[in-house]
Structure 1
Amino acid sequence: MMDIKIVLIGHRGVGKSELLVRLKSYFPQFHYFDLDAVIAEKLANPVYKIFETFGEEYFRSKEVEQARLILNKKDVIVSLGAGFNLENLPEDVICIWVRRPTDSDGRIFLNRPTLDPKLSPLEDYLARFDKRQRKYFEKADFIYDMPEGISILESKTLAKKGVLIQEKNLFKEFLFRTGKKCKGVLTLNPYNVNTRLAFETVEFRTDIFSAKEIIRLVEIFGKKSKMILSFRKDNVHDLDELMDILPSFYAVDVDSELGAILDQINAKTSTAIRKKLIVSCHIPDIDENTKTLDSLVKVKSKAIVKCSPVIQSFTELKWLYDWYMKNPSGRMIFPRSDEDSKNSDWQWFRHFMLSKQVLNFVNDGFSTVPDQPTLLDTFLYNDSFTQFAAVIGNPVHHSYSPVFHYEYMKKRNMPYYRIKIEEKEFDEALDFLEEIGLQAASITAPFKEAAYRRYQPRAGTDIKIKSINTLYLSNDGKAHIANTDTMGLMKTLTQISSEVFKKDLQKLTIVLWGGGGVVPAIKSEVPSVHLVASRDGKLPKGTKDIDILIWAAPRSLLTQVPKNCTIGAVFDLSYGGNSMGLELAKQHNIPYFSGLEMFKEQGRGQQLFWSQFDERK
């Protein structure tokens, strides 16, 4: 065996325990421990009871005690609680930080203790978030950006083309160092320079490493990976210091503002080295960026150019892509999201370009560029293709759809992305997406009615509720539209009426709180449902008792919650961890039913619909 000791760290509810179970199925030769479960077994009490009875300080002491005992063993992988004091870990332990895009949204738990009873469940999570986030980053040896929804996949999906097999492949490379190289370019920095993974290409930047350090890194990585030397304006080394090792590099990348370095390379280096030259520009404004590169190519260099502007809209993205397509062999494009954007706007486009450009940068978790594909993405999205599918909405960073539909689309040689669109540019965005190959889509809030208006004239058929969540575009330009929103709705409502009320559904008072584009679909299935605008919050006159509250409102300061009434059960159309419907159920101890099963039924319905028009059959 390997005598390896690994701990999984990360925020509450991220999925460490579930990942531990999957790792055990992938690699049974290791010994696996869920620290919370170990403590609960030792003290013969669930964790929340230990907190309630003895307090947090006592629980933390037991964490350290049991962790030390476990980590004295060989070949162990341990899942730690979010609040474990990482300073108590031995030096020889490898820390894997497990994180998800929704970590910063916060999570609410029906079955876990609130650590500070003075705070709401969500406030309790967020109060600890920033401090824990910093600790995880400082301690992490490896960061696993786990996709949303991977926990819903069943073990039978460990198929040749499934997400789980690619997760297994990623961890196989990490654990056993087989030497198989990860796709893409990894920019090295002090945090990842000792990476356990092998990469096709690594980049050394002069604003990160000294000339002496770069020379040393060439000795280490020269036999393992192709290398790129990048001169950046923030810390420019004398070219003479690095002249002797220039032939070692696959490419030499010079920032467009470093005219003197460009002149030196053109004057002092061989033709072979000049052929490796890339000129890059990171000026935020797209017009200034492309003009700078075009000018340099005309005047100073015939190098390949790399354009990385901040892109603010689909109009700008289309402009950038059109510029690239005028000379795809001589240009590379890497759109960046605005720094104020909470989540990446253009990661999907970086995925789209993975098989189209010579170089593509990867984010191993230690990068500051959120638009770069993650490590797992490079395993999932590396095949060439002509058409693609997507979930389209705003927000979409929380969506399970890319994971749910991955294998179905992979069999049809179509990647499936999550694409966020601003409402004001819906049609412009869809024009561009269709132009570059969109064929199938899951339409989510707030675009279900807008999508109906756009595509119904091309469909030749109508939908009574005038709202769609499923789209397929044939190669002849015809649109096929459907709404699977209500699939699973009646099944869950019937389950609630039976389990909670022991009554027929028709005898219950059902209120839909919010809903937007899903209202017509639900109204068509449950005509007696009472509709309440979530910003208004006014119940129908005379209604004091709600049997089933269908929660379909977003988390917002403007969203009201029901007042002066009793609620028998909450059916939350969301499956997110920070839903206000979930919070309402926890605060008032109301039976809670997630929309996850309904989501799965909707997804299966979408796949059945798409299969009718699959032109690859």
Structure 2
Amino acid sequence: MITILIGHRGAGKSALLRRIKMYLPDIVAIDLDAFIEEQEGMSIAEIFSKKGEAIFRTLEKKHFHHLIQNTRVQPLYVAVGAGFNDELPKEVRVLWIRRETDAQGRILLSRPRLDANKSQLQTSQRLFAEREARYERICTDVLTIPEGFDRENEWEKKYFQHGIRDVGGLITLLPQQHINQQWIGERCKWGITAFELRKDLLSAAEFQSAEEVIPKEKVYYADSVCDLHDRLPGESLSEAISRLDQNNPDGKHLKLAVEIHSFHELLEGDAWMMADPEHRSFLPRSHDGRFQWYRLLRKGVMKINFIREGKGSAIDQPLLLDWVRTPKNTNSFAAILGDPVTHSLTPAEHHDFFAAKGMPVFRIRVTESEWESGAFEVLQTLGLRYAAITSPLKRMAYASCAKVTAEAKQFQCVNTLFWDEKIKRWSGANTDVAGFQALVRELGDGNNVAVWGAGALLPMMQNTLPQASFYSSRSGEVRAGTSLAAPRTIIWATSHRDTHPPSIWAPENIIDLNYTQNSAGLDFAERLGIPYLSGLAMFRRQAEEQRKYWSAHAR
């Protein structure tokens, strides 16, 4: 069997290929770009700059077909570049490696620009839709890698070793999906409860074909339950629930899958389901997938709970790899709270720590207004016991604490919480201080350093870099310190993209508090062609301090 890994730039195909080789030592694993560099004696960047993209694409096709035709050892895994656009042999398995952040675009300073007149981020975003459609069309399998799980891990290993079992959950079959006996058989081995067939999604031919290859006991028809997906205009959740209850004369299992507009509605729906989980399932929906965590929380409780390997039929369906690593019937959990959190590495960073406690770690998007409206209290009711706090909630989290560390009190800001069962209150810490100090340790007192933005971290950053100059990222005006004509270093401390530092500045480097691959600070550094340091070191250090705090105080 030949497996081709496809996916967007920066999705992690090359890194995954190295892990697959660790999971399956007997395979041949080849990164096409690396193979081209070896054969041509030039880096990909050099080929682009000296010969152009058209020549590179020709070389790409030439070397790909050479590999396919001349590698006799089986199985063979080949990772191809994001722009690879040649026809693939029909007999190969095409595995689309995707991440939930693909659509945001990525900047990879080690990769060449595809368009000399556009930034990497602009090009990445421009190419997204076209490439996404191609991947969707040619793939035979999809695997979504959760953010941060870019290291060897148990469940990814089981996936490639065909060792996943006792999964549960339902999978909705989608149109144009490559469904055959082997595909169904593999998922039956996983222990998938059933495969949903929907006539509104599948053509008549696809529907019939699926019925022929799926074991009868594994077929789930949408009309086998009494469900509700849409509310009437102005209808409250309680009214929708009442309508669902009344429209069930046959006593079918009830499935409530409407859009949920607040954390209080989430709690209301949960209470309804938990009152009779044998006959009720609650699948909250949103426009951005923000309730994946809730469906994971109720894994093993609800009779109907869908999962997905790729996009799925609803964005709130949990990902396969998130699902299999989440324990069943857990009563407590940890989470990263803030807005946005889609990119957060916290669940991966703290997974092992909380897995030892039998607790999952979720990403939960919470806005300032939602916190003020009681979202934090709802999460506590549902089982939140540990939390990492990110923007814009750090000051409000501080106000929720009965006890805080000295650093938290000094800056009136916390990024770390735990529920103290003894006093029945929250306690908090500020580990951003240690993280920031680790990030900027080479800058001394901050002389000739401009900090672009800062928000709630401003007092802490001023304390660490007393000689730095602090600028508002929105107005460009100096907030603290002196105005600098030509700062040597810019510390990027904002997610704001609409304004940039003065064009006359010619910094030597950028230090970013953000670690995402589409950060505005990274975009700025790429445009200027200057050295860049991401906030990953800060994140890792503050996370290490979080674990120390939780271990020392949360007993």
Q: TM-score scaled to structure 2, two decimals? A: 0.91
- 1:259 matched residue in structure 2: none
Are the equivalent residues in 1 in contact too, given 2:2–2:76 (CA < 8 A)?
A: yes
Q: What's the CA shift string for 1:345-375, capped at 9, x where partnerless?
A: 1111111111221221111215230100111
Q: What's the CA shift string for 1:183-215, capped at 9, x where partnerless?
A: 311112341533243323222234345788666
- 2:275 matched residue in structure 1: 326
For residues 100-115 of structure 1, the aligned pairs below 5 Å read: 100-115=99-114
Q: Select which of 301, 306, 317 maps to 1:356.
A: 301
Is residue 2:506 matched to residue 1:514? no
Identity percentage over the alignment?
32
- 2:80 matched residue in structure 1: 80
Cα distance in structure 1, aligned partners of 2:66 and 2:313: 37
For residues 49-448 of structure 1, the aligned pairs below 5 Å read: 49-72=46-69, 73=71, 74-85=74-85, 87-151=86-150, 153=151, 164-173=153-162, 180=165, 182-190=167-175, 191-194=177-180, 195=183, 196-198=186-188, 199-209=192-202, 217-222=210-215, 226-231=218-223, 253=224, 278-284=225-231, 286-297=237-248, 300-338=249-287, 343-427=288-372, 428-448=374-394
Shift in Å, 1:534: 0.5
Shift in Å, 1:217: 4.1
Q: CA distance change for structure 1 residues 542 and 326 in 2, over 3 Å: closer, same or farther?
A: closer
Is residue 2:468 matched to residue 1:529? yes
Q: Which amino acid aligns with 2:119?
A: S
Secondary structure, in 3 states, of the residue corresponding to 2:95? Answer: strand
- 1:553 matched residue in structure 2: 494
Shift in Å, 1:465: 0.4
Q: After alignment, is 16-25 or 302-311 more displaced?
A: 302-311
Q: After alignment, is 388-397 or 506-515 more displaced?
A: 506-515
Cα distance in structure 2, aligned partners of 1:44 and 1:52: 14
Cα distance in structure 2, aligned partners of 1:306 and 1:438: 25
Cα distance in structure 1, aligned partners of 2:276 and 2:432: 43
Q: After alignment, is 316-325 or 429-438 more displaced?
A: 316-325
RMSD value over aligned CA atoms?
2.2
Shift in Å, 1:426: 0.6
Cα distance in structure 1, aligned partners of 2:20 and 2:404: 46
Shift in Å, 1:291: 2.1
Shift in Å, 1:475: 2.2
Secondary structure, in 3 states, of the residue corresponding to 1:523? Answer: helix
Q: CA distance change for structure 1 residues 135 and 211 in 2, over 3 Å: closer, same or farther?
A: closer
- 2:438 matched residue in structure 1: 491
Secondary structure, in 3 states, of the residue corresponding to 2:195? Answer: strand
Q: Which amino acid aligns with 1:38?
A: F
Are the equivalent residues in 1 in contact too, given 2:172–2:313 (CA < 8 A)?
A: no
Q: What's the CA shift string for 1:399-447, capped at 9, x where partnerless?
A: 0001111111110011100000122111411010001110000000010
Are the equivalent residues in 2 in contact too, given 1:282–1:289 (CA < 8 A)?
A: no
Unpaired stretches in structure 2, ≥5 consecutive residues: none
Cα distance in structure 2, aligned partners of 1:555 and 1:459: 30
Q: What's the CA shift string for 1:25-45, capped at 9, x where partnerless?
A: 111111011111111111111
Q: Which amino acid aligns with 1:103?
A: D
- Equivalenced residue count is 535
Secondary structure, in 3 states, of the residue corresponding to 1:513? Answer: strand
Are the equivalent residues in 1 in contact too, given 2:155–2:321 (CA < 8 A)?
A: yes
Shift in Å, 1:613: 3.0
Cα distance in structure 1, aligned partners of 2:33 and 2:118: 23
Are the equivalent residues in 2 in contact too, given 1:388–1:416 (CA < 8 A)?
A: yes
Q: Select which of 399, 420, 429 maps to 1:453.
A: 399
Q: Which amino acid aligns with 1:425?
A: E
Q: Select which of 428, 433, 456 maps to 1:481.
A: 428
- 2:38 matched residue in structure 1: 41
Cα distance in structure 2, aligned partners of 1:204 and 1:41: 48
Cα distance in structure 1, aligned partners of 2:297 and 2:440: 39
Q: After alignment, is 580-589 or 10-19 more displaced?
A: 580-589
Are the equivalent residues in 1 in contact too, given 2:309–2:319 (CA < 8 A)?
A: yes
Q: What's the CA shift string for 1:576-604, capped at 9, x where partnerless?
A: 11112112212222221111111111111
- 1:235 matched residue in structure 2: none
Q: TM-score scaled to structure 1, two decimals? A: 0.82
Are the equivalent residues in 2 in contact too, given 1:204–1:230 (CA < 8 A)?
A: yes
Q: After alignment, is 397-406 or 468-477 more displaced?
A: 468-477
Q: What's the CA shift string for 1:206-258, capped at 9, x where partnerless?
A: 434578866664553227x6332223xxxxxxxxxxxxxxxxxxxxx2xxxxx
Q: CA distance change for structure 1 residues 137 and 209 in 2, over 3 Å: closer, same or farther?
A: closer
Secondary structure, in 3 states, of the residue corresponding to 1:150? Answer: coil
Q: After alignment, is 302-311 or 520-529 more displaced?
A: 520-529
Unpaired stretches in structure 1, ≥5 consecutive residues: 159-163, 232-252, 254-277, 498-504
Larger Rg: 1
Q: Which amino acid aligns with 2:490?
A: L
- 1:29 matched residue in structure 2: 26
Q: Which amino acid aligns with 1:183?
A: G
Shift in Å, 1:384: 2.4
- 2:506 matched residue in structure 1: 566
Are the equivalent residues in 2 in contact too, given 1:459–1:478 (CA < 8 A)?
A: no
Q: What's the CA shift string for 1:100-141, capped at 9, x where partnerless?
A: 121111111222111111222211111111100100111111
Are the equivalent residues in 2 in contact too, given 1:345–1:371 (CA < 8 A)?
A: yes
Are the equivalent residues in 2 in contact too, given 1:572–1:581 (CA < 8 A)?
A: yes
Q: Which amino acid aligns with 1:9?
A: I
Cα distance in structure 2, aligned partners of 1:592 and 1:310: 41
Q: What's the CA shift string for 1:556-592, capped at 9, x where partnerless?
A: 32x3324322312211111111112112212222221
Cα distance in structure 2, aligned partners of 1:469 and 1:318: 25
Secondary structure, in 3 states, of the residue corresponding to 1:321? Answer: helix
Secondary structure, in 3 states, of the residue corresponding to 2:441? Answer: helix
Shift in Å, 1:63: 0.6
Cα distance in structure 2, aligned partners of 1:215 and 1:131: 30
Q: Which amino acid aligns with 1:544?
A: A
Cα distance in structure 2, aligned partners of 1:507 and 1:604: 25
Cα distance in structure 2, aligned partners of 1:208 and 1:371: 18
Q: CA distance change for structure 1 residues 590 and 279 in 2, over 3 Å: closer, same or farther?
A: same
Cα distance in structure 2, aligned partners of 1:108 and 1:6: 27
Q: After alignment, is 202-211 or 475-484 more displaced?
A: 202-211
Are the equivalent residues in 2 in contact too, given 1:183–1:379 (CA < 8 A)?
A: no
Q: Which amino acid aligns with 1:45?
A: M
Cα distance in structure 2, aligned partners of 1:510 and 1:34: 41
